[in-house]
Structure 1
Amino acid sequence: MSSSGVSSRKLHQLIEDEGFKSFLPCVRCTRLRHACIRSDRSKSCSCCVRAGRGIKCEMPERTFTDSEWRRLVRAQDEVAEKCREALAAVMRLDRQEALLKKYAGDFIARKYDEVAQLEELERREKEEIERLEKERVECRYWVR
């Protein structure tokens, strides 16, 4: 393989690795419906570099610069990251809320068990008092 083939392959890979998706794709990428990946290292996009020397990377008339587009993409990425962070925080709070509800349920159940135990103790005491009162009354009856 020729050295130009190797260097165009390397350039293609370099553009793919460090490039950015162009807002306005070149004429060839538009026709082929490819993503037009551009880099400051080449005037051609990765698709046109991969196609070879005979292909000219023709760009449509731009209304803004590539650097402006990169700033816009960077801002969009930052907003998307903040959205992911906010979603993660909401999910974390949802898990905390569910855990607190579980603890509240456990607390209520434990208190309910304690109340039931106290009621059972009171019932036993009342039965014991009634039994003792009955014995006392019977004892008086026998003593007379």
Structure 2
Amino acid sequence: MPRMIFISLPVADLPASMAFYEALGFTNNPQFSDTTGACMVWSEAIHVMLLTHEKWRTFTDRPIPPPTSSEVSLGLSLDSREAVDAMVAAAVANGGTADVNPVQDMGFMYGRDLTDPDGHIWGPMWMDPAAMPAE
């Protein structure tokens, strides 16, 4: 089996969260989805498990952090600056928040941070390694 990552996130409204992630370009894998959780696929190696709060609590007794806190920021590489801006626009149109941190524009690298409706931070970014300044 290839190495893969499965990111589990607690969500307050599973259907709304699924719609949010679909708008960002994720697809649902119904084989691993039910009324308590949904497997959202970014690539062959990256999957996000959206779990209702009730389902999440079957995995841990630790509290679910409020949407205003930060535990982790998850980065996603995209093909262009325009794709970064399009993902952020899709996030905003579907209940997310844009630019929760300052936009990073270094010419050869461009990134913006957004949150999903539950406050989870995603950082779509684009980079052109050939344009990186020489050290």
TM-score range, shorter chain: under 0.3
Higher alpha-carbon Rg: 1
**Under a length normalisation based on structure 1, what TM-score does the superposition of the two structures give?**
0.20
**Under a length normalisation based on structure 2, what TM-score does the superposition of the two structures give?**
0.21
The structure that is strand-richer by fraction is 2
